C-alpha cells in the first residue's frame, strides 16, 4: 500500500528522475536513508519500471508520427501471438496496444517522413502474414505528451 510520501516520490521522479536521493529527501522532508529505501522498494514492487531519457524525435529525424490501426486476418491465438512477436522486433513501432472495436491493434510508428513510412508499410508491415487490413492516421502536431500517469 502506497502512503502519501510514496505517492509524492513517484510524482517527483515521474517529472524528473535525475534528482539525487538527497534532493528527493529535501522535497519530501525526510532524511536520505529512508528515501533511498522507499525508492528501492518502489522499484522492487514494480511501481517504478525503468528510468529513461525522453529524446527529441525531431532532432533525431524521426518526427513523422503515424497511428496505424491493424485488423488481423483471423482471431486465432497463433495468429495473434505471431503478430505480437513480429511487432516486438520492428524498431519503427514505438508503442503497440491490443484494442477493442473495429481494429485489433493500435501501433504508434515513428519514422523520418512519408517516404519512409511507405517503405515501412510495404516492406515491414506488408511482410506480416497475420495482418488483414490497416488504417493510418498521420499526426499533424503533438498537443500534449506528459509521459506520465496521473496519481
Domain ranges of the chain: 4-44, 64-138
What does the pLDDT look like over 3-45, one tens digit per residue? 999 999 999 999 999 999 999 999 999 999 999 999 999 999 9
CA angle 78, 125, 102 (to 5 degrees): 70
Cell of 136: 493510418
Q: In this predicted structure, what is the pLDDT of residue 76?
A: 87
pTM: predicted TM-score of the whole model, two decimal places: 0.88
Number of H helices, E strands in the chain: 5, 4
Question: Which residues on adjacent β-strands are paired with residue 109?
Answer: 66, 93
Residues 35, 41, 43, 45: is their CA dihedral positive or negative?
A: negative
Highest CATH level, class, for 64-138: alpha beta
The confidence band for 148, taking pLDDT boundaries of 50, 70 and 90, is confident
Domain 4-44 has CATH 1.10.10.10: yes
The confidence band for 147, taking pLDDT boundaries of 50, 70 and 90, is confident
Amino acid at each position: 500500500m502506497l502512503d502519501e510520501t510514496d505517492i509524492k516520490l513517484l510524482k517527483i521522479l515521474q517529472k524528473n528522475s535525475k534528482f539525487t536521493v538527497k534532493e528527493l529527501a529535501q522535497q519530501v522532508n525526510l532524511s536520505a536513508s529512508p528515501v533511498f529505501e522507499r525508492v528501492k522498494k518502489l522499484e522492487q514492487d514494480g511501481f517504478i519500471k525503468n528510468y529513461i531519457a525522453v529524446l527529441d524525435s525531431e532532432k533525431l529525424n524521426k518526427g513523422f508520427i503515424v497511428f496505424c490501426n491493424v485488423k488481423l486476418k483471423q482471431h486465432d491465438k497463433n495468429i495473434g501471438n505471431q503478430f505480437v512477436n513480429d511487432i516486438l522486433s520492428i524498431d519503427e513501432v514505438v508503442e503497440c496496444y491490443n484494442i477493442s472495436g473495429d481494429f485489433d491493434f493500435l501501433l504508434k510508428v515513428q519514422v523520418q517522413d512519408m517516404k519512409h513510412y511507405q517503405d515501412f508499410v510495404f516492406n515491414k508491415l506488408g511482410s506480416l502474414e497475420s495482418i488483414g487490413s490497416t488504417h493510418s492516421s498521420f499526426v499533424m502536431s503533438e498537443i500534449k505528451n506528459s509521459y506520465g500517469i496521473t496519481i
